[in-house]
Structure 1
């Protein structure tokens, strides 16, 4: 378990293999977050004391628990908020197209500025509700504290194919939400232990079919 700011940075370098250029982008992202948080409430002030653990590595671990290291295919981050995990993923995999979706204008304006400052031209920031997004399949879908699992799938299944990888940090409710998922959803979701919180989990897997598609082939 990663339990210190130094440990978080060491993990990025030694385990995830983050190079100097990507570490620099992450350092600048952390600094931008601190400054902008004085203007709008992006994250809790207390969490900024542990920004590498609570936000940077908590996002970066998705690449580790899923073994998603190819950097190939579009990544859709729903309800991205302050850019976690999507903006961290983009900083680590700058060649990958990453779409950050949020319904709050001030946040999307900041996300666009941050992506430009960090030199991430493949980041697309979208101001919209998930319900209003055009249907389009993505290679990876993430959402951190956006909606309960069943509701999230109802809103977002149309962005997925059986090959789409879902990465959903769910905190302490991960196993409960998976157990409570209604009948009819065909999936391969399982819970991976969070590296930053002993009580938290990350849902990882593929969605093979929605309830109304029960008879469809995966």
Structure 2
């Protein structure tokens, strides 16, 4: 997908207002400037941000339920997909990031883009994030699926939609994780890379509905197979 094709794809699939286009452009400018200070994205993708990062993030919204609610993005890093989701939708996104420079960068991005009401930075390791139930969980290049489930199933219910771009290793990671977890996942093709896969689905074993922001408080509910 070229940069022009990426912009066309956004126009065809999202009702992108002029103001949102301007914020996307501002985000890219901000990201490129910050990339001179820290390694936010691969240098080889700096000239292909629309396709490799913006659309790659935006496509996850196609798999989310239609009613916006609470979304947690694990290992947000440069803000993908979390910042893009917040810009293109009415979801409230919690951006989990543990690295100090990236926490500071994400906080500045939220203010720059006027996302204070729709994006919150949880600047801490995932293990320290208070247990809360979310409607959607995303993670892009954060951890292998089995480890990701171990770390974050406590944020999930039977209804929570997991949206996990996994590149070309999606099938292998899913097969390995199914040895320990009861998963209703499918592998969906990525619009930006026909050889890459997105893991989409739910983790069975929890019966509490998403709390839409209420703190649930205790133990993990993502139940392993017995």
- Corresponding residue SS for 2:154: helix
The CA RMSD measured in Å over matched residues stands at 1.4
Per the alignment, residue 12 of structure 1 pairs with 10
Q: 1:187 Cα deviation (Å)?
A: 2.0
Looking at structure 2, the residues matched to 190 and 30 of structure 1 have their Cα atoms a distance apart, in angstroms, of 31
CA displacement 1:121-148 (0-9 Å, x = unmatched) = 1211111111111111001100000000
Looking at structure 1, the residues matched to 41 and 34 of structure 2 have their Cα atoms a distance apart, in angstroms, of 10
Looking at structure 1, the residues matched to 180 and 53 of structure 2 have their Cα atoms a distance apart, in angstroms, of 34
Describe how 1:104-143 pairs up with structure 2 within 5 A: 104-121=99-116, 122-143=118-139
Q: 1:77 Cα deviation (Å)?
A: 0.3
Per the alignment, residue 41 of structure 1 pairs with 39
Q: 1:68 Cα deviation (Å)?
A: 3.8
1:165 to 138, 142, 161: 161
Give ranges in structure 2 of 5+ residues lacking alignment. Answer: 206-221
Looking at structure 2, the residues matched to 33 and 183 of structure 1 have their Cα atoms a distance apart, in angstroms, of 39
- Corresponding residue SS for 2:204: strand
Give the TM-score, by structure 2 length: 0.88
Q: Which stretches of structure 1, 4 residues or more, deviate above 6 A after TM superposition?
A: none
Per the alignment, residue 193 of structure 2 pairs with 197
Per the alignment, residue 56 of structure 2 pairs with 58
Looking at structure 2, the residues matched to 194 and 16 of structure 1 have their Cα atoms a distance apart, in angstroms, of 17
Aligned length: 209
Looking at structure 1, the residues matched to 176 and 137 of structure 2 have their Cα atoms a distance apart, in angstroms, of 21
Give the TM-score, by structure 1 length: 0.91
The answer as to whether partners of 2:204 and 2:223 remain within 8 angstroms in 1 is: no
